[in-house]
């Protein structure tokens, strides 16, 4: 099949959606499909190295844009022509020029299109900028979603929440995401690499937050909860790994300093590849107290690394990991995060048991090859019954 993914941004700083599109595109290309990704340079801030950082098995076309709506005349032309050359179009995220243009172009060309909202139909997400999103959604986006060939969700909870925001959506398909394999070396080797660069973590019990430093991630809960827990457990250290808006990251740094935690909190910025896995190998617990989280790829990567995880109940995946024995849960409230974090740190036996529990879970679910195979089946089910539709000028 000729498959075109349309996404407003592919820069790594944009978080999970670019990772999903990249991994799915690689796997689909490996299965013999012709895969093209159309996107913009939003988030790149003039830096182009990310486009060619790795050899890709799919075509990546990046177009200039103006602002957060990701508008661009070249982008629009590329979407329209790309859609006409496709058997299936896969639209990622909402609220941008990309999703609107791709849906309209697909309908005009009579090419089936699927939409993967990446949590953007979650009521929590829609409440952020509620009036603008209600107007935009009702007038422009939601009528197009209802005419899609199908919706792709990463978890049944995402599908349930999307139906609250936008009733009358087309058939939903659950497409669980995957995890990468860590470097082929002993975990202790990765741990030592990281500790050599961060001597302040030596001999400490390390709590890891890995992801975008963003207000929805519950960092306003994590910092005071860690402060309270550390008073009783002074050997605990917090490791914050990930990119973020400079002004927001600075506000977190100031809160850390105000509480006198500078020596107990390490900010690394974003880490990729081996460095990311080394950070996980040097940690004892992964925490994500988000107010809303569609799937949490970082949590699955943590499980792959052998870490136990503490997730808020607003992370759609929380119950899956708790039921598997590799996770604990909390509410996105300060008292709940504080209590659960302390309990996790005090339960060394549970933390040791998490690694084998995680391996059993990952052997059955959460790998990109399985995800791509599932998506391939969905594409075949929506593809025009007599092959590629006739081109529409």
| Residues 170 and 207 reside in one and the same domain | no
Same domain for 212 and 93, yes or no, is no
Strands 265-269 and 205-210 come out as: unpaired
3-state secondary structure of 265: strand
Beta bridge partners of 92: 116
Query: Is residue 103 domain-shared with residue 231, that is, in the same domain?
Result: no
CA 363, CA 332: separation in Å to the nearest integer? Answer: 30
> Are 65 and 209 members of one domain?
no
Q: Is 374 in the same domain as 359?
A: no
Cα–Cα distances (Å) from 291 to 166, 236, 294, 337, 373, in that order, read 20, 24, 10, 12, 31
Compute the half-sphere exposure of residue 327: CA atoms within 13 Å on the CB side of its CA.
Answer: 27
Is 315 a member of any domain? Answer: yes
Q: Has residue 387 been placed in a domain? A: no
Same structural domain for residues 146 and 289?
A: no
Kindly state whether residues 206 and 345 are assigned to the same domain.
yes
Q: Is residue 389 part of a domain?
A: no
Q: Looking at the structure, do residues 225 and 149 belong to the same domain, yes or no?
A: no
| 249 and 332 fall within a common domain | yes
User: Structurally, how many domains does the chain consist of?
Assistant: 2
User: Domain residues for 212?
Assistant: 187-364
Q: What does the pLDDT profile of the chain (393 residues) look like in tens digits?
A: 999 999 999 988 788 899 999 999 999 999 999 999 999 998 876 666 666 656 688 999 999 997 889 999 999 999 999 999 999 999 999 999 999 999 999 999 999 999 999 999 999 999 988 999 999 999 999 999 999 999 999 999 999 999 999 999 999 999 999 888 889 999 999 999 999 999 999 999 999 999 999 999 999 999 999 999 999 999 999 999 999 999 999 999 999 999 999 999 999 999 989 999 999 999 999 999 999 998 899 999 999 999 999 999 999 999 999 999 999 999 999 999 999 999 999 999 999 998 888 887 787 788 899 899 999 999 999 986 544 544 433
CA-CA distance, 83 to 95, in Å (whole number)?
A: 19
Q: Residue 247: which CATH number?
A: 3.40.50.2000
**Per-residue tokens: 30:** 């490996």
Whether 277 and 251 have beta carbons less than 8 Å apart is answered as: no
The H or E element that residue 174 is part of is strand 172-174
String of DSSP letters for 205-243: EEEEEES-B-GGGTHHHHHHHHHHHHHH-TTEEEEEES-
Is the same domain home to 245 and 331?
A: yes
Pairing of strands 150-153, 172-174: parallel
């Amino acid at each position: 099949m000729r498959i075109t993914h349309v996404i407003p941004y592919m820069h790594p700083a944009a978080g999970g959606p670019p990772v999903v599109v990249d991994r799915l595109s690689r796997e689909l290309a490996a299965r013999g499909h012709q895969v093209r990704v159309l996107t913009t340079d939003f988030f790149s801030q003039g830096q182009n190295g990310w486009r060619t950082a790795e050899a890709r098995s799919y075509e990546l076309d990046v177009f200039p844009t103006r602002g957060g709506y990701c508008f661009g005349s070249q982008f629009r032309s590329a979407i329209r022509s790309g859609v006409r050359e496709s058997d299936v179009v896969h639209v990622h995220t909402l609220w941008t020029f990309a999703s609107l243009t791709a849906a309209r172009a697909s309908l005009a060309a009579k090419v089936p299109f699927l939409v993967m909202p990446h949590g953007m139909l979650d009521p929590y997400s829609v409440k952020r900028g509620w009036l603008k999103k209600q107007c935009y959604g009702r007038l422009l986006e939601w009528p197009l979603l209802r005419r899609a060939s199908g919706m792709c969700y990463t978890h049944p909870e995402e599908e349930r929440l999307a139906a609250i925001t936008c009733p009358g959506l087309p058939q939903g398909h659950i497409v669980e995401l995957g995890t990468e394999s860590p470097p082929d070396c002993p975990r202790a080797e990765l741990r030592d690499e990281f500790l050599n660069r961060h001597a302040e973590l030596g001999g400490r019990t390390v709590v890891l937050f890995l992801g975008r430093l963003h207000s929805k991630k519950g960092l306003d809960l994590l910092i005071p909860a860690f402060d309270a827990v550390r008073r009783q457990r002074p050997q605990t250290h917090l490791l914050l790994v990930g990119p973020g808006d400079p002004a927001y990251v600075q506000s977190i740094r100031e809160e850390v300093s105000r509480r006198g935690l500078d020596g107990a909190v390490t900010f690394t910025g974003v880490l990729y590849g081996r460095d990311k896995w080394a950070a996980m190998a040097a940690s004892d617990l992964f925490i994500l107290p988000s107010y809303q989280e569609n799937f949490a790829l970082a949590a699955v990567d943590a499980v792959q690394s052998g870490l136990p995880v503490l997730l808020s109940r607003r992370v759609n995946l929380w119950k899956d990991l708790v039921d598997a024995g590799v996770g604990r849960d909390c509410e996105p409230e300060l008292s709940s995060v504080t209590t659960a974090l302390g309990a996790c740190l005090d339960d060394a036996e549970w933390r040791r048991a998490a690694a084998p529990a995680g391996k059993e879970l990952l052997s059955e679910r959460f790998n990109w090859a399985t995800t791509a195979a599932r998506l391939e089946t969905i594409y075949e089910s929506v593809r025009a019954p007599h092959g590629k539709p006739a081109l529409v000028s």
